[in-house]
Structure 1
Amino acid sequence: MRATHIFCFLFLTLVANYSLAQQTDSTRYYKNIIRYNLSGGLLFGIDHYIVFGYERVLSPKRSISVNFGKASMPKLVSISTDSFQVNKDQKRSGLNFSIDYRFYLARENKFRAPHGLYIGPYYSYNRFTNDVKWTSKSSSSSSDVAVDTKFNIHTVGFELGYQFIFWKRLALDLVLVGPGLGFYDYKATINSNIDPAKREQIQEGLKQLLTQKFPGMNYVFSDQEIDANGVMRTNTIGYRYIVHIGFNF
Structure 2
Amino acid sequence: MLRKRSLAGVICLLLLLSRPVFAQETTIDSSWHNARKNVIRYDLSGAALFGFDKYVVFGYERVVNKHQSFSINGGTVALPKLVTIETDSFYLQKDLKNNGFNISADYRFYLAKENRYFPPHGLYIGPWISYNKFTRNNQWTFRKGSADEQLLTTETDFKIFSVGGELGYQFIVWKRLAIDLVMIGPGISSYDLQGKSTGNLTEEQRAKLQDALKQLITQKFPGMNYVFADKSFDASGSMKTTSIGFRYIVHIGFAF
Do residues 169 (structure 1) and 173 (structure 2) align?
no
> 2:32 touches 2:66 (CA, 8 Å); kept in 1?
no
Residues 94-113 of structure 1: CA deviation (Å, up to 9, x unaligned): 00000000000001101111
Distance in structure 1 (CA, Å) of the matches to 2:32 and 2:114? 24
Matching residue's letter, 1:45: G
Residues 169-218 of structure 1: per-residue CA shift (max 9 Å, x gap): 10000000000000000000112222211111100111112112211100
What residue number does 1:209 align with? 216
Task: Tell whether 2:126 aligns with 1:111.
Answer: no
* Cα pair 1:79 1:85 within 8 Å, conserved: yes
1:74 aligns with 2:56: no
Aligned to 2:206: 199
- The alignment status of 1:32 with 2:38, answered yes or no, reads yes
| Structure 1 residues 1-249: aligned runs within 5 Å | 28-137=34-143, 138-249=145-256
**Cα separation, 2, equivalents of 1:182 and 1:176:** 18
Q: CA RMSD in A?
A: 1.5
Residues 121-145 of structure 1, C-alpha deviations (whole Å, 9 max, x = no match): 0000000000011102331211111
| 3-state SS of 1:142 partner | strand
Aligned residue-pair number: 226
Partner amino acid, structure 2, of 1:166? V
One-letter identity of the residue aligned with 1:144: L
Give SS of 1:143's match. Answer: strand
Cα deviation, residue 26, structure 1: 11
- Cα separation, 2, equivalents of 1:48 and 1:141: 36
Larger Rg: 1
Structure 1 Cα separation of the partners of residues 156 and 204 of structure 2: 19
2:91 alignment partner AA: Q
Alpha-carbon distance change, 33 to 130 in structure 1, aligned in 2, over 3 angstroms: same
Distance 1:193 1:129 in 2: 23
Query: Does the CA-based 8 Å contact 1:76-1:89 persist in structure 2?
Result: no
CA change 1:26–1:113 in 2 (3 A) is: closer
Worse-matched range after superposition: 46-55 or 223-232: 223-232
TM-score, normalised by the number of residues in structure 2: 0.86
Which letter maps to 1:217? M
Aligned AA for 1:230?
G
Q: Which runs of 4+ in 1 moved over 2 A?
A: 24-28
Once the two structures are TM-superposed, the CA of residue 28 in structure 1 deviates from its matched residue by: 2.6
Question: Which stretches in structure 1 are left out of the alignment for 5+ residues?
Answer: 1-23
Percent identity over paired residues = 55
* Structure 2 spans left out of the alignment, 5+ residues: 1-29
